[in-house]
Amino acid sequence: MHAPGTPSPARPSGSGTEGGGRHHVVVVGSGFGGLFTTRALARDPRVKVTMIASTGHHLFQPLLYQVATGILSEGEVAPATRDVLRRQRNARVLLGTVTEVDLARREVVSTSPAGTTTTSYDSLVVAAGAGQSYFGNDHFARYAPGMKSIDDALELRGRIFGAFELAELATDPDVRRRLLTFVVVGAGPTGVEMAGQIAELAHRALRGNFRHIDPRESRIVLVDGAPAILGAFSERLSRAAARQLERLGVEIQLGRLVTGVDAEGVDLRDTDGVTTRIETQTKVWAAGVAASPLGAQLAEQSGASTDRAGRVRVEPDCTLPGHPEVFVIGDMMALDDLPGVAQVAMQAGVHAASRIRRRLDGQDHGEPFRFQDKGSMATVSRFHAVADVRGLELSGFPAWVMWLAVHVFYLIGFKNRVTTLLHWAVSFVGRGRSERTATLQQVRARQALAALEEQPAASPGAAGGDDPVPGTSGSRLDDLTSPAGRPRSDAPRQST
């Protein structure tokens, strides 16, 4: 293995077998960073790009909450990557989870149900993003799914709509109250968006759908340890968003830390040490991120350090120390306190591609990455958002129109833009939520995974074959909201 921090042996560009004489760029991840890197190399005939990603789609994470609340379908926010790149002849897409990067040998090892693949590179761009962090309480995940993947969004969709279904059946008022209580942990943009949409669902979209319950009796609680919501925005915008949430009926509890999460509730502790409990069936975790574990591996090999979220402290040009051929970008990179947002990932991807091209031109002078901040925005409800565009602060309808335009612009694919606009018309002008389906198969798979997680030392046959997995044979309605396990981190999240 190569000594940390020392340059890996230089190899003539294109000398690897994979590039077929061309400079072979391996891109890890099909998110914003990976996709923008790959596209920015489209017109360079000297380059061959291999994108390796553990999902077959490009995920537009900013709209995941709309999948979870029945506004959009998963296909609208997650088009197939190979379809997005179908016209880019110098790019190919491989399904696989990268488990190992060998900086000295310039090789990447990935696994998929088809087996293990080793891919050599001339340049490597690692954009494997970040996952949810439960701040050392990973067991919370079972009861409070995060919002990072299509799996997460569909899981939450099943739980949210399932809770209303079960409340309709419940005869015990306490059980009904618990089922109609929704707690969102984390008051950043994702938490605010989720709380706002669940409130709109309860107070507006589901009107007339039930005979025994009134969804408007739902209690939606947004919890955060911080003293204000949307901490990255100014006080004025934070207050405007809070007012709008309260108008929608969202209860905001600030200065409260979550100390426990179980099947039927959430335990909280405030700054004075006073503890309280909220009885709730449906919990959403929208607090904390942890960079892909690949970051720690790359840091160890290169001598780079990582920050608290596991992001790699890269050189000013987004490369690893001693490895000008390896870029770490997007949510995995720690550089100049840049936030983990889509714009940073996209621009860093374009920067990495430009550096690779300049190197091939013999004109690479290690130019630093310069982020152009185009502003930030968060939507609170239909027709209401907050936006900070280079110091210009907007809230309410004008900010929402801006939010809408930006999201339609960055959504990938013409068809997706059209169908998304139609769905928004149905949900925001009308009241419909057309994407409410949760399948029994999803529920069974979730329970099987939960059972597997509970049996770490289980016999090899426990996962299938003749050995029934506990809890998977039922088709009861309460399956819809029962505590779920999350996919094991080493299992492929989705196959094409």
Q: Using H for helix, E for strand and C for coil, what is the string for 214-267?
A: CHHHCEEEEECCCCCCCCCCCHHHHHHHHHHHHHCCEEEECCEEEEEEECCEEE
**End-to-end CA separation in angstroms for the chain:** 34
* Cross-strand bridge partners of residue 388: 376, 393
Tell whether residue 64 is a contact of ligand FAD (CB under 6 A). Answer: yes
Among 62, 70, 145, 487, binds ligand FAD (CB under 6 A): 62
CB nearer to ligand FAD: give 53 or 242: 53
- CB 375 to ligand FAD: min, Å: 10
CB nearer to ligand FAD: give 95 or 469: 95
Tell whether residue 98 is a contact of ligand FAD (CB under 6 A). Answer: yes
Tell whether residue 128 is a contact of ligand FAD (CB under 6 A). Answer: yes
CB nearer to ligand FAD: give 59 or 450: 59
Alpha carbons within 13 angstroms on the beta-carbon side of residue 27 total 31
Site track 303-342 with ligand FAD (rule: CB under 6 A), x = hit: ---------------------------xx--------xxx
Among 101, 147, 298, 385, binds ligand FAD (CB under 6 A): 147
Among 78, 127, 195, 328, binds ligand FAD (CB under 6 A): 127
Secondary structure of residue 478 in the 3-state scheme? helix
CA 178 – CA 191 distance, rounded (Å): 20
Indicate the residue type of 263: A
- CB 10 to ligand FAD: min, Å: 26
CA 163 – CA 156 distance, rounded (Å): 10
CB nearer to ligand FAD: give 191 or 265: 191
Burial (CB < 10 A; 0-12, 13-18, 19+), residue 196, is buried
- Residue 496, CA distances (Å) to 64, 82, 113, 117 in order: 19, 10, 11, 17
- CB 470 to ligand FAD: min, Å: 30
Tell whether residue 345 is a contact of ligand FAD (CB under 6 A). Answer: yes
Tell whether residue 148 is a contact of ligand FAD (CB under 6 A). Answer: yes
Backbone angles phi, psi at 138, to 5 degrees: -60, -25
Tell whether residue 129 is a contact of ligand FAD (CB under 6 A). Answer: yes
Tell whether residue 294 is a contact of ligand FAD (CB under 6 A). Answer: yes
Among 189, 215, 310, 324, binds ligand FAD (CB under 6 A): 189
Query: Which residues touch 393 (CB under 8 Å, ≥6 apart)?
Result: 234, 236, 237, 386, 387
- The window from 124-132, 172-180, 352-360, 427-435 that contacts ligand FAD (CB under 6 A) reads 124-132
- CB 210 to ligand FAD: min, Å: 28
- CB 377 to ligand FAD: min, Å: 7
Query: Which residues touch 178 (CB under 8 Å, ≥6 apart)?
Result: 264, 265, 279, 280, 281
Size of the site for ligand FAD (CB under 6 A): 32
- CB 207 to ligand FAD: min, Å: 27
Beta carbons of 39 and 357 less than 8 angstroms apart: no
CA 362 – CA 373 distance, rounded (Å): 30
Among 8, 13, 69, 97, binds ligand FAD (CB under 6 A): 97
CB nearer to ligand FAD: give 108 or 484: 108
Beta carbons of 59 and 77 less than 8 angstroms apart: yes
Catalytic annotation on 76?
no
Site track 5-44 with ligand FAD (rule: CB under 6 A), x = hit: -----------------------xxxxxxx----------
Q: Which of 76, 155, 193, 435 is catalytic?
A: 193
Burial (CB < 10 A; 0-12, 13-18, 19+), residue 108, is buried
Secondary structure of residue 355 in the 3-state scheme? helix
- CB 471 to ligand FAD: min, Å: 28
CA 71 – CA 426 distance, rounded (Å): 9
- What is the Cα 195 distance to its own chain's centre? 17
CB nearer to ligand FAD: give 61 or 218: 61
CB nearer to ligand FAD: give 129 or 145: 129
CA 290 – CA 307 distance, rounded (Å): 10
Looking at residues 274 to 293 of the shown chain, list those that interact with ligand FAD (rule: CB under 6 A).
Answer: 292
- CB 379 to ligand FAD: min, Å: 8
- CB 277 to ligand FAD: min, Å: 27
Q: Helix 397-410 to helix 414-424 angle, to the nearest 10 degrees? A: 150
Tell whether residue 388 is a contact of ligand FAD (CB under 6 A). Answer: no
Looking at residues 42 to 61 of the shown chain, list those that interact with ligand FAD (rule: CB under 6 A).
Answer: 52-55, 61
- Which residues of this chain interact with ligand FAD, rule CB under 6 A? 28-34, 52-55, 61-62, 64, 97-98, 127-129, 147-148, 189-190, 292, 294, 330-331, 340-343, 345
Active site members? 193
